[in-house]
A and B are shown apart, each in its own frame.
Chain A
């Protein structure tokens, strides 16, 4: 046994010596858990290849890959046209998995799952709906005894993809929200309290009665938080799930452009969960170091074949089959 390990180690060092390939990436924090797992599994089965990923945030990821500081980037929001034109390298957006944002709340005495229509979600964060027993909330939740108490909206104080997805959705469903607040990784909230990170928002909501917040689906599931249902564009109440998110991506397939820069919030289809989004790897179309490019392409193929199947077990929604097929085509263009 010991001998085996020793030979393996020797082989590993040998192959490192022969074709060692270090690739560095940086970007979004949301997909970090699954990226870390993918990169370490891929490195395990491909000795000599080491992919190092730093979850420094989407904004920093975009900056670093544009400045050629890292080999690839990752972002929860697509790059803007201006960012793409300013980048020193031509980049592909490669969708990897999908995430969703869910409304969480702390309402003592209410055990039933609450329903939130898009108008209510926007109204709460615009400060227009400020009491729990507002008729607009009551209308969607018949039979629930809503307290006459002020709502405390909680938002992400740090810039985040979560906020981007949420505000992107609210901007689509509420013209008022779009004109007064708009979509971005951090926005000017007229009301509420800001907390850092998913854990900050979740902690605040858990500890404060009558509060309301939004967190990543993964975070809510892993921490066994209850969350509300949202009305989708078909008028159906949907509770977020990885299936619902993949359904939203599949329903939006016709609108996905060639460069994958698309927002799938408020997607059509009766099963689609409306507050969902792709997360992307930002891969240079051309690698100066041909060997690096080869490894990157090989990794992306591996990701589509093996990685995607692991997504659901980590509560990430995998790409729908048609999208994965298209991505496989795109990968072939990387050189």
Chain B
């Protein structure tokens, strides 16, 4: 018995399973039907499917429409609060480079220039760098390094801008004044873009700090976009005898380019509106100059700097109009970027994104 029991004991469950197998078809069905009846009961209880669908669609539409309401409200308030300055200066406001609170003469041109150039400079530095990091992490990086690099990239995105500004003042400014600046002047001084005197604060430093700030945004989004490219694209390229670089260029970048442009636009958005870090290193002097070592000023930093102490209605109104100018610049830049995307991808449907 005892000898028999063990094999029997082992076989018993098998047998019971085997024996019970005919039963399950009954129980699952009943379970399913119970579930189904549960769902059905719920569906029956909530009345007409039509009403539910419409209600849901209406709710979603409301959410989408609220976007229009918010944007219209912002524009309306900006225009209303800048009436004084719009009436006083008209279109001249956007062409004049005079900003003189004492005599009540205001012009936005140097600020628009500063915002555009510093953001463009940031893109010039950040886009190649962030794409390189994204490609490396995804396609080339040894697995153990992948985690730390991705983590550090995202960590950069979490640092508040005032901390970037402080770091800029204490580390970046002396570095650019004493090391990078003289080197750039020696090698690229002939272009007229890097001419002494270089005080360390100025357009170039602002561009560099903005580049560091938008780098994580562009890098992590384009990494995710490239990851979404199906593997068979890579395999196909390799199977045709492509080198690794050709595989990345043809198989990955080609397919992910729309998403990458989207990532760049997001980064540009952050660069255009960035205030605190920029104002700490740009020199805050409204000046239009080809020399990138010169101090400059941006739309957002003039608002942040002067709004709280602004006295006089015209002065306040001009500052609000600066806000309006920033809004217009953002819209125009975004529109141009979208046109670019459209021009690049015309006729080609996005394959992976």
B306 touches A159 (CB 8 A): yes
| Across-interface contacts of A161 in B (CB, < 8 A) | 309
B285 touches A194 (CB 8 A): yes
CA distance A194 to B102 in the complex (A): 17
CA distance A56 to B308 in the complex (A): 7
| A 150-165 to B, binary, CB cutoff 8 A, 1 in contact else 0 | 1010000111110000
| B 303-322 to A, binary, CB cutoff 8 A, 1 in contact else 0 | 01111111100000000000
| Across-interface contacts of B283 in A (CB, < 8 A) | 193-194
A208 touches B309 (CB 8 A): no
State how many residues of chain A have any CB contact under 8 Å with chain B: 36
Q: Of the candidates A152, A160, A187, A196, which one forms a contact with B199 in the assembled complex, judged by CB atoms under 8 Å apart?
A: A152
- Which of B197, B305, B311 lies at the interface centre, i.e. has the most chain A CB atoms within 10 A of its CB? B311
| Nearest CB of A to B301, in Å | 8
Residue of B nearest to A59 (CB): B309
CA distance A207 to B199 in the complex (A): 10
Q: A25 an interface residue at 8 Å Cβ cutoff? A: no
| Nearest CB of A to B11, in Å | 75
B308 touches A60 (CB 8 A): yes
Q: A57 an interface residue at 8 Å Cβ cutoff? A: yes
Q: Of the candidates B98, B100, B169, which one forms a contact with A207 in the assembled complex, judged by CB atoms under 8 Å apart?
A: B169
Q: A260 an interface residue at 8 Å Cβ cutoff? A: no
Given contacts A182-B103, A188-B99, A193-B283, contact A150 B197 (CB under 8 A): yes
| Across-interface contacts of A203 in B (CB, < 8 A) | 169
Q: B174 an interface residue at 8 Å Cβ cutoff? A: yes
A57 touches B309 (CB 8 A): yes
| Nearest CB of A to B309, in Å | 3
B309 touches A188 (CB 8 A): no
| Nearest CB of A to B77, in Å | 17
| Across-interface contacts of B206 in A (CB, < 8 A) | none
| Across-interface contacts of A183 in B (CB, < 8 A) | 102
Given contacts A183-B102, A204-B201, contact A193 B305 (CB under 8 A): no
Q: B295 an interface residue at 8 Å Cβ cutoff? A: yes
| Nearest CB of B to A76, in Å | 9
B101 touches A188 (CB 8 A): yes
B285 touches A159 (CB 8 A): no
CA distance A193 to B285 in the complex (A): 6
| Across-interface contacts of A83 in B (CB, < 8 A) | 311
A-B CB pair tally, cutoff 8 Å: 92
| A 47-69 to B, binary, CB cutoff 8 A, 1 in contact else 0 | 00000000011111011000000
B101 touches A186 (CB 8 A): yes
Q: A123 an interface residue at 8 Å Cβ cutoff? A: no
Q: Of the candidates A56, A184, A204, A208, which one forms a contact with B102 in the assembled complex, judged by CB atoms under 8 Å apart?
A: A184
A187 touches B102 (CB 8 A): yes
Q: B200 an interface residue at 8 Å Cβ cutoff? A: yes
A207 touches B284 (CB 8 A): no
| Nearest CB of B to A131, in Å | 12
CA distance A161 to B309 in the complex (A): 8
| Nearest CB of B to A161, in Å | 8
CA distance A262 to B200 in the complex (A): 40
A159 touches B284 (CB 8 A): no
CA distance A196 to B295 in the complex (A): 14
| Nearest CB of A to B276, in Å | 9
Q: A141 an interface residue at 8 Å Cβ cutoff? A: no
Q: B173 an interface residue at 8 Å Cβ cutoff? A: yes
Q: A36 an interface residue at 8 Å Cβ cutoff? A: no
CA distance A181 to B173 in the complex (A): 29
Q: B280 an interface residue at 8 Å Cβ cutoff? A: yes
Q: A189 an interface residue at 8 Å Cβ cutoff? A: yes
Q: Which of B262-320 contact A (CB under 8 A)?
A: 279-280, 283-285, 295, 297, 301, 304-311
Q: What are 28 of the A-B contact pairs (CB < 8 Å)?
A: A57-B308, A57-B309, A59-B308, A59-B311, A60-B308, A62-B311, A80-B311, A159-B305, A159-B307, A159-B308, A161-B309, A182-B103, A183-B102, A184-B101, A185-B101, A186-B305, A188-B100, A193-B199, A193-B201, A195-B280, A195-B284, A196-B279, A196-B305, A200-B280, A203-B169, A207-B173, A207-B174, A207-B200
User: Taking beta carbons and an 8 Å cutoff, which residues of A are in contact with B?
Assistant: 56-60, 62-63, 80, 83, 150, 152, 157-161, 181-189, 192-196, 200, 203-204, 207-208, 211
Q: Which 8 interchain pairs have the tightest Cβ spacing?
A: A159-B309, A194-B284, A57-B308, A157-B284, A182-B102, A59-B309, A188-B100, A185-B309
